Amino acid sequence: MARETSDDAIWFLSGLALGVTVGLLFAPQSGEETRIQIKEAARRSGERLREQGDDLYSKSRDLFERGRELADEASGIFERGRSLVDG
């Protein structure tokens, strides 16, 4: 899952770089207007990366909690088995 997320980020950044390059080469507006567009695109990209990071953090936290629950459950089963053997 982490590899899939990193692959998505790499493809996104590659597409962004390609889009900016093509946009600069064929831009019909002035340099100032182009810089404004680049700033806006960078801001949107940053927001999207932040959202993806938050989503990844949330999923990681959920998996961690599930792992903790499974470990607690396994510990309980182990203790019951030990008490049966000792008892």
CA 3 to mean position of chain CA atoms: 10
Q: What is the pLDDT of residues 14-63, one digit of tens each?
A: 888 888 888 777 777 777 887 888 889 889 989 999 999 999 999 999 99
* Per-residue model confidence (pLDDT) at position 18: 87
* Per-residue model confidence (pLDDT) at position 3: 63
Quote the CA–CA distance of 66 and 73 in Å, as a whole number: 11
**Is 37 buried (19+), middle (13-18) or exposed (0-12) by CB count in 10 A?**
middle
pLDDT for residue 1 is more than 60? no
